[in-house]
Amino acid sequence: MTHPSKADVLLPDAQALYRELLAGVRALRAPDAHLVGITSGGAWLAQRLQHDLGLSGEPGVISSAMHRDDFSKRGLTGAGQQTQLGFDVNEAHIILLDDVLYTGRTIRAVLNELFDYGRPASVKLAVLVDRGGRELPVQADFAAARVALPATQSLALARDAQGGFRFEVETLPT
């Protein structure tokens, strides 16, 4: 039995999916809602959405590093940018953004982090890609696409110097 190589995987067009995400977030967003992106791909999406929706200020950024259930194995490696929320979380309406939804464990971790800052009125989840494979009961309110990949591969959003998006597939060690 052979597994597809990186070259065999047909990657979705991240730029086209971003346009779908923009429309989906526009439909989900209440006038007073705050965008919060999960580091790093979700933060990139939130930043571009903030601009494209004509919203003032900076979007929030949230990290899953401190609440991961695999923290003892990973530590702070790959933590990237730390949580920065420039608004009062209490009673806020939040649209949480991520590039790829897979097991649901990152979403669980960022919800724990978010509640460390207060109690939001509502949290909606919008993602560029839902790849299935859930291990926790987490579901996106909006997903621009659904993509199937083997569990031996990960899908991540990458950004070029001009701010354009593309997907990269990495084969995980077995």
Query: What pLDDT is stored for residue 136 in this prediction?
Result: 96
In sequence order, the β-bridge partners of residue 34 are 94
Q: How many CA atoms lie within 13 A of 135 on its CB side?
A: 9
Tokens of 149: 């990949």
pLDDT in tens, 122-167: 999 999 999 999 999 999 999 999 999 999 999 999 999 998 999 9
Query: What pLDDT is stored for residue 79 in this prediction?
Result: 47
Q: Classify 155 as helix, strand or coil.
A: strand
Query: What pLDDT is stored for residue 73 in this prediction?
Result: 52
Query: What pLDDT is stored for residue 4 in this prediction?
Result: 44
By C-alpha distance, which of 110, 98, 97 is closest to 62? 110
Domain 14-67+82-171 matching CATH 3.90.1150.10: the answer reads no
The list of the chain residues with pLDDT below 50 reads: 1-7, 74, 77-79
Query: What pLDDT is stored for residue 9 in this prediction?
Result: 57
Tokens of 107: 């979403």
Domains of the chain, by residue range, sit at: 14-67+82-171
Which residues lie closer than 8 Å to 1 by C-beta, 6 or more apart? none
The pTM for the full model equals 0.89
